Structure 1
Amino acid sequence: MTKFVDSAIVQKMCEVTRQSYERYWDERNGGNVSVRVLDEEVAGYEDNTAVIRSFELGFDASAIAGYYYLTTGTGRYFRNVFNQPTLDLGLVRISEDGRSADLLWGFEDGGKPTSEFPSHLMSHIERLKVNPDQRVVFHCHPTNVIALTFTQELDERHLSRLLWKMQAESLVVFPEGVGVIPYMTPGTTEIGAATAAKMGEYQAVIWPHHGLFASGVSLDETYGLVEVIEKAAMIFSQVSAQGGVIKQDITDHQLQELADAFGVTPHPGFLEV
């Protein structure tokens, strides 16, 4: 599959990871992305069934057996993906028993999927139950979102309302709000399971003092979701820097009017209307 590097999905992954690094969301080897690659996106590339090597997943992923995923590698720097995708990206197929992933392309220097790959797959499984067009899981470290977790109550209703009230587009883009898990050690199946449990209800889940897990149907949409959440958190940071005294904001009634105008449904119980 040597020509797979020229595919549109690889080129988009290179673009998104570069932009994320340039926005300081993914310092050093922080952050990881996976996208479900459709059969038709793999078809046409020669030798698309030859297994280079396999990786144990550490959990049962049989719900997505046979699915293809393009993922960033463990220990890799987002700033490098654009120039060396065949080293920093890998295309894998989930085995029939769901216990391993078979590498079909990429990781040419012996690399392997991100340590968060099991967490990604758990979230992919849950999001597919919500939306069969779900394709992307994106983990990054947005500065202002992380800062919120040090100063604000780690409560989904509180954080969702705070972010909604910072700008009108927030409610339109993530009307379900944001999920939150307790602080947990990254790279474990435990944090993956906790995140996936929230992904059944939210498209984005905050990892306190660490970062954000976001999902979507495309790389552009998912990246855009992170942009909006981080922009809202940034506005709150600016308000706080200006003294933190809010003299006016978007009211709950106005948020409901906004939801009605754009045909979205806010998370039940989050608005006081």
Structure 2
Amino acid sequence: MTKFIDSPYVKELSKITFRLYAHGWDERNGGNVSYRLTHEEIAPYEDTQTVLKNFPIAFDGKDLAGMYFLVTGTGRYFKNVIDFPERDAGLVRITEDGKSVDLLWGFNDGGRPTSEFPTHLMGHKTRLKHHANQRVIMHCHPTNLIAMTFTQKLDERRITRILWKMQTESLVVFPEGVGIIPWMVPGTTTIGEATAAKLESFSSVIWPQHGLFASGSSIDEAFGLIETIEKGAQIWSIVQQQGGKIEQTITDKNLNDLAKAFHVVPREGYLEV
């Protein structure tokens, strides 16, 4: 029987964590990824059928009871996951009472899920409620986007409009815009609750002076969302380096025309009619 380490899910996680690192968005042990899997997807792997350990979680996960998550480990460097997936990642199942998780595979050196795992679970719970197909959450530190949070007012409409106008694809990829929370200590219930509240209507949430929390229906979709947001921030940064003077831009009319052509609905009130 095929080992879980050879599954497409572990391979996807291993590749994307390295790519996040290679982009410069997950230095050292910064960042984390969780990937919700179904019972049918893990059933073929014999080495996922035994509980190896149990970890308490600081979150009431009763609504997610029985669900499986492939998640990166706390303190683990993203550059290493591709070489040591069974050490730096783990497959866990939420227990029936929602107070802990059973480890079914991975963390073979005694590790445990990322300290941000409760925040991920809060995010999964919210996204499942509104977008049942969403199964991936990524947190990383996109350089240019973080820089914007030092120089721009933390206003969702303002920052969304900047990102939409920096490249034509932005509006198509994230028509709902980007959410923003105040600066908070990471790894806490407080930041998890605030992020989950934003995920009610945004697929991505900016953590000022820290990074981005993004969701998607697949590894590719979540990663592509981050790439597109960061590309907009990068172009904006380059424009500022060139003096910041805008000779031509994507207008609100252009964006409205774009939305109609691609059948997306921009966030209400963000564009001039």
After superposition, the C-alpha distances for 1:106-145 in whole angstroms (9 at most, x for unaligned) are 0000000000000000000000111111100000000000
Is 1:167 matched up with 2:167?
Answer: yes
Match of 2:30 in 1: 30
After superposition, the C-alpha distances for 1:51-106 in whole angstroms (9 at most, x for unaligned) are 11111111211111100000000000000000000000000000111111110000
Match of 2:185 in 1: 185
Name structure 2 gaps, 5 residues minimum.
none
**Cα distance change on mapping 1:82 and 1:103 into 2, 3 Å:** same
Deviation at 1:49, TM superposition (A): 3.2
Structure-to-structure mapping, 1:21-100, within 5 angstroms: 21-100=21-100
* Conserved? CA contact 2:133–2:217, under 8 Å: yes
Is 1:20 matched up with 2:26?
Answer: no
Percent identity between the two aligned chains: 62
- Structure-2 separation of matches of 1:231 and 1:222: 14
Name structure 1 gaps, 5 residues minimum.
none
- TM-score w.r.t. length of structure 1: 0.98
SS of alignment partner, residue 176 of structure 1:
coil
- TM-score w.r.t. length of structure 2: 0.98
After superposition, the C-alpha distances for 1:192-243 in whole angstroms (9 at most, x for unaligned) are 1000000010000000000000000000110000000000000000000000
- Structure-2 separation of matches of 1:2 and 1:144: 41
* Conserved? CA contact 1:2–1:105, under 8 Å: no
For these two proteins, the number of residue pairs brought into alignment is: 273
Structure-to-structure mapping, 1:228-247, within 5 angstroms: 228-247=228-247
- Structure-2 separation of matches of 1:145 and 1:40: 38
Deviation at 1:44, TM superposition (A): 1.1
Q: Which amino acid aligns with 2:39?
A: D
Match of 1:156 in 2: 156
Deviation at 1:47, TM superposition (A): 4.9
SS of alignment partner, residue 24 of structure 1:
coil
- Structure-1 separation of matches of 2:135 and 2:169: 23
After superposition, the C-alpha distances for 1:4-37 in whole angstroms (9 at most, x for unaligned) are 0000000000000001100000000000000001
- Structure-2 separation of matches of 1:270 and 1:107: 45
Deviation at 1:48, TM superposition (A): 3.1
Match of 1:4 in 2: 4
Question: What's the RMSD between the two structures over aligned residues?
Answer: 1.0
Q: Which amino acid aligns with 2:44?
A: G
Match of 1:200 in 2: 200
Match of 2:146 in 1: 146
- Structure-2 separation of matches of 1:244 and 1:217: 36
- Structure-2 separation of matches of 1:116 and 1:47: 26
- Structure-1 separation of matches of 2:265 and 2:18: 33
* Conserved? CA contact 2:3–2:47, under 8 Å: no
- Structure-2 separation of matches of 1:34 and 1:44: 20
After superposition, the C-alpha distances for 1:162-218 in whole angstroms (9 at most, x for unaligned) are 100000100000000000000000011110100000001000000000000000000
Q: Which amino acid aligns with 2:56?
A: E
